[in-house]
């Protein structure tokens, strides 16, 4: 255990008062991967403080957007530190109080940050045991630490509380990676499903989101938006807007806004601003975008290769060639982006709905030309993120307007702005060529993905000859040709890229199973040596009550599996296809997941169910319509997200695997939604859908094409 360096212990305790503090530095490699420029103390991602009153404060740069990490992080600390959950206070996403964190995404909180958090708590427990040993004059080996008390094992009456041990202590430790963690068999708080810590606040309306924060004298801003992406302002007349009582109009390059103490007056004023725009010609639209991407993308890079793909292709008795496509998908969190900014005495404080408080702080500092230490971002509860709140334009807008007006300013995007400014899941396409040997083994797997990136593209099947390529390492890689072909911003969307890739991979597997006259489960098992995946598939099938059958069996049963964020997932679904309307109704879903150690089983199930319920959207209805930079869907009236009547019973199965550390939970299940439903539609009708979403029109067309 080394002493804390960097910030002085004195200034640290000036902020904290006394107590015992453990810094959590992630593995140096991980830290470097996050941002090579970070130095101590900012390379320490959180810490916990045991105060003199015995309360434990956990400070973490992660944020709560519904995924339940407020509770699961507290559980990990309670487990390893030996305190009750109720003794813990969580502080999340406050850049002045919590050390640097790159953001909450990628299902990383539990699998990457979790081990460090647990180790820190375990280390604090060891520190308390050492202090307790000195105080009670009993060797550490004869002590137990639990429920916030160190006591003598043989004489439980001889005890001292954590608070008493912290009193007067000024101990700062840096995490030692060799801290002793509780074994799974010893778990008392982890592995259970306590009531969520945000439960009462969220059912009583007390939970605060960014748009709920109020400051005296604050103004509400409505910002002038271009009619389409790529448009330039040619004429601006704000005279009529400025006549409204109490209105402030800001006219800056790239930022024109009407502000008022009453949000409705601000909206009224915005409506009176006259603007003319010059708009560029559209290069692509909802239909033509896929050819446009293929024609304008750069060179593919190799993701994986083995055997002789070219030879296998030349020698294939039957080549299965498919092209899969998926349109742009919106995040459509029910909370639109919002922020409130205040600048006082040269310091900006911004309450923002963001998944990335620290990068947001940096963006604001740059826009205001402030030093980062003079910007504080505070993250209240976030009303859904799904990757969309990794973009933080609203926070920068609020900060700039606060700087320009000298007043606190709220920017809360309207639903239309939310659609217009979204960083969409990109339109993407995949070309696959594959073949089988006479034993139903995959002989060739030749895979090329455009614009979705590589997540989910790698194959876990035992293909003898394989070539996997991707144009663009990730969908939002600025170096990727994929990113530059889109007519508006794209960005991470729950399991970025994997929804597209798993749709393509698992549809193609089903095509081959059907052609080989094999049951889709048997076909997969015949091509899989990965024991974890075999077990998850079999568990899901058993839970579903799956009976073997060659598709199309007419039953409407689909199967799909994937590995995402370290988690193995297999999903089965049963659908009913209305042959007159083309409408797909999902009757039931069963999903099995091996995610290693499960911190909070009920929380894990909620994420599995949530992912699948959300996934019904990109599978069945969600596709942003556009013409060039003009976003045509800007409301829930035309952009249909899943509703109650669509949602089937979703049964979840957590496949026990305590040998593996906790893996990702927020994203894996959604990756199977497109494929499992496409395969179920094929099983029901014999019609294969190669494009997501599978709208009723497309299902009808596919059925009609099949019967021709």
Partner 1 sequence: MKKRIHFGLNGRPIAFDADDEQMLLWVLRTDLNLTGTKYGCGEGQCGACTVIVGGRAVHACTTALKHVAGKEVVTIEGLARDGKLHPLQQAFIDHGAFQCGYCTSGMLLEASAFLRDHPKPSRQEISAHMERNLCRCGTQQRVLDAIESAADQIGAAS
Q: Which stretch binds partner 1 (CB under 8 A): 141-149, 299-307, 309-317, 642-650?
A: 642-650
Residue of 25, 54, 66, 163 interacting with partner 1 (CB under 8 A): 66
Q: Does 642 bind partner 1 (CB under 8 A)?
A: yes
Separation CA 436–CA 418 (nearest Å):
46
Q: Does 215 bind partner 1 (CB under 8 A)?
A: no
What does the CA dihedral 377, 381, 383, 386 come to, rounded to 10 degrees? 70
Q: Tell which residue, 185, 273, 269, 178, has the closest CA to residue 220.
A: 269
Separation CA 665–CA 675 (nearest Å):
19
Residue of 34, 67, 151, 501 interacting with partner 1 (CB under 8 A): 67
Query: How do beta strands 409-412 and 219-223 pair?
Result: parallel
Q: Does 602 bind partner 1 (CB under 8 A)?
A: yes
Instruction: Choose between 142 and 602: whose C-beta lies nearer to partner 1.
Output: 602
Separation CA 376–CA 14 (nearest Å):
19
Size of the site for partner 1 (CB under 8 A): 59
Separation CA 695–CA 701 (nearest Å):
10
Separation CA 98–CA 93 (nearest Å):
7
Separation CA 456–CA 587 (nearest Å):
26
Q: Which stretch binds partner 1 (CB under 8 A): 231-239, 460-468, 560-568, 630-638?
A: 630-638
CB atoms within 10 A of CB 96: 13
Which residues face 47 on adjacent strands? 23, 59
Q: Does 635 bind partner 1 (CB under 8 A)?
A: yes
Nearest distance from residue 288's CB to partner 1, in Å?
29
Nearest distance from residue 209's CB to partner 1, in Å?
7
Q: Which stretch binds partner 1 (CB under 8 A): 24-32, 108-116, 341-349, 598-606?
A: 598-606
Q: Does 204 bind partner 1 (CB under 8 A)?
A: yes
Residue of 203, 253, 281, 580 interacting with partner 1 (CB under 8 A): 203
Coil, strand or helix at 211:
helix
Q: Does 609 bind partner 1 (CB under 8 A)?
A: yes
Q: Which stretch binds partner 1 (CB under 8 A): 37-45, 162-170, 537-545, 644-652?
A: 644-652
Q: List alpha helices for 43-136, DSSP H.
A: 69-81, 114-136
Q: Does 408 bind partner 1 (CB under 8 A)?
A: no
Q: Which of residues 490-519 bind partner 1 (CB under 8 A)?
A: none
Separation CA 564–CA 460 (nearest Å):
11
Q: Does 222 bind partner 1 (CB under 8 A)?
A: no
Instruction: Choose between 382 and 516: whose C-beta lies nearer to partner 1.
Output: 382
Q: Which stretch binds partner 1 (CB under 8 A): 20-28, 169-177, 445-453, 637-645?
A: 637-645
- Distances from the Cα of 377 to the Cα of 195, 349, 364, 514, angstroms: 28, 6, 9, 54
Tokens of 62: 């992660």
Q: Which stretch binds partner 1 (CB under 8 A): 75-83, 357-365, 371-379, 638-646?
A: 638-646
Residue of 76, 128, 412, 597 interacting with partner 1 (CB under 8 A): 412
What value, to the nearest 5°, has the Cα angle with vertex 604 and ends 124 and 526? 120
Cβ atoms of 411 and 223 closer than 8 Å? yes
Residue environment code for 201-211, b if the CB has 16+ CB neighbours within 10 A, otherwise e = eeeeeebebbb
Nearest distance from residue 372's CB to partner 1, in Å?
28
Instruction: Name the DSSP class of 83.
Output: -
Separation CA 350–CA 395 (nearest Å):
7
Residue of 81, 90, 316, 332 interacting with partner 1 (CB under 8 A): 332
Residue of 647, 654, 660, 696 interacting with partner 1 (CB under 8 A): 647
Q: Which stretch binds partner 1 (CB under 8 A): 4-12, 126-134, 334-342, 625-633?
A: 334-342
Nearest distance from residue 303's CB to partner 1, in Å?
30
Q: Which residues bind partner 1 (CB under 8 A)?
A: 65-68, 195-196, 198-209, 211-212, 214, 220, 262-264, 332-336, 381-386, 412, 414-415, 602-603, 606, 609-614, 635-637, 641-645, 647, 649-650
């Amino acid at each position: 255990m080394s002493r804390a360096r960097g910030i002085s212990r004195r200034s640290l305790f000036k902020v904290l008062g006394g107590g015992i503090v453990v810094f959590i530095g992630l593995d140096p490699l991980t830290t470097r991967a996050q941002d090579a420029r970070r130095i101590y103390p900012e390379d320490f991602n959180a810490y916990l403080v045991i105060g003199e009153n015995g309360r434990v404060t956990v400070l973490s740069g992660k944020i709560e957007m519904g995924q339940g990490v407020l509770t699961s992080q507290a559980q990990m600390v309670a487990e390893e530190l030996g305190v009750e959950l109720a003794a813990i206070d969580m502080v999340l996403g406050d850049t002045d109080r919590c050390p640097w964190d790159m953001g909450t995404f990628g299902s990383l909180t539990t699998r990457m940050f979790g081990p460090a958090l647990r180790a820190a708590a375990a280390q604090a427990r060891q520190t308390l045991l050492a202090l307790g040993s000195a105080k009670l004059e009993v060797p550490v080996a004869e002590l137990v630490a639990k429920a916030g008390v160190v006591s003598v094992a043989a004489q439980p009456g001889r005890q001292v509380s954590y608070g008493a041990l912290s009193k007067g202590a000024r101990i700062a430790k840096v995490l030692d990676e060799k801290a002793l963690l509780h074994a799974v068999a010893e778990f008392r708080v982890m592995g259970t499903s306590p009531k969520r810590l945000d439960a009462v606040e969220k059912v009583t309306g007390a939970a605060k989101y960014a748009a709920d924060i109020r400051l005296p004298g604050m103004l509400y801003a409505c910002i002038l938006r271009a009619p389409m992406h790529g448009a330039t302002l040619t004429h601006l007349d704000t005279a009529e807007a400025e006549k409204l009582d109490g209105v402030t109009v800001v006219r800056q390059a790239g930022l024109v806004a009407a502000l008022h103490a009453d949000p409705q007056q601000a909206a009224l004023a915005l409506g009176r601003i006259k603007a003319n725009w010059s708009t560029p010609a559209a290069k692509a639209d909802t239909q033509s975008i896929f050819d446009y991407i293929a024609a304008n993308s750069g060179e593919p890079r190799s993701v994986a290769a083995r055997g002789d793909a070219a030879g296998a292709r030349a020698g294939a008795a039957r080549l299965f060639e498919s092209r899969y496509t998926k349109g742009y998908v919106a995040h459509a969190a029910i909370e639109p982006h919002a922020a409130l900014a205040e600048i006082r005495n040269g310091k900006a404080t911004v309450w923002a709905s963001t998944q990335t408080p620290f990068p947001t702080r940096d963006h604001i500092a740059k826009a205001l030309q402030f030093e980062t230490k003079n910007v504080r971002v505070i993250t209240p509860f976030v009303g859904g993120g799904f990757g969309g709140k990794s973009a933080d334009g609203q926070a920068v807008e609020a900060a700039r307007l606060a700087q320009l007006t000298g007043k606190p300013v709220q920017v809360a995007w309207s639903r239309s702005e939310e659609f217009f400014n979204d960083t969409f899941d990109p339109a993407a396409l995949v070309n696959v060529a594959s073949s089988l040997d006479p034993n139903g083994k995959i002989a060739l797997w030749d895979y090329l993905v455009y614009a979705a990136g590589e997540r989910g593209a790698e194959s876990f099947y035992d293909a003898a000859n394989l070539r996997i390529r991707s144009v663009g390492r990730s969908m939002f890689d600025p170096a990727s040709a994929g990113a530059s072909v889109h007519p508006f911003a794209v960005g991470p969307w729950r399991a970025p890229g994997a929804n597209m890739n798993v749709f393509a991979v698992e549809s193609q597997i089903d095509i081959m199973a059907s052609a080989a006259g094999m049951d889709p489960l048997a076909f997969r098992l015949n091509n899989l040596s990965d024991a974890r995946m075999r077990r998850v598939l079999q568990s899901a099938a058993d839970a579903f009550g799956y009976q073997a059958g060659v598709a199309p069996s007419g039953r409407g049963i689909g199967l799909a599996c994937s590995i995402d964020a370290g988690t193995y997932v297999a999903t089965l679904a049963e659908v009913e296809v209305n042959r007159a309307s083309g409408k797909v109704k999902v009757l039931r879903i069963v999903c099995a997941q091996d995610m290693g150690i499960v911190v909070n089983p009920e929380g894990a199930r909620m994420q599995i169910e949530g992912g699948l319920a959300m996934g019904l959207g990109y599978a069945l209805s969600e596709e942003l319509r556009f013409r060039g930079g003009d976003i045509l869907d800007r409301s829930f009236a035309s952009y249909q997200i899943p509703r109650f009547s669509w949602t089937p019973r979703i049964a979840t199965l957590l496949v026990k695997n305590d040998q593996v550390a906790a893996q990702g939970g927020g994203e894996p299940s959604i990756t199977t939604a497109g494929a499992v439903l496409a395969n179920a539609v094929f099983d029901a009708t014999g019609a294969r859908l190669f494009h997501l979403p599978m709208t009723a029109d497309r299902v009808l067309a596919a059925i009609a094409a099949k019967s021709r």
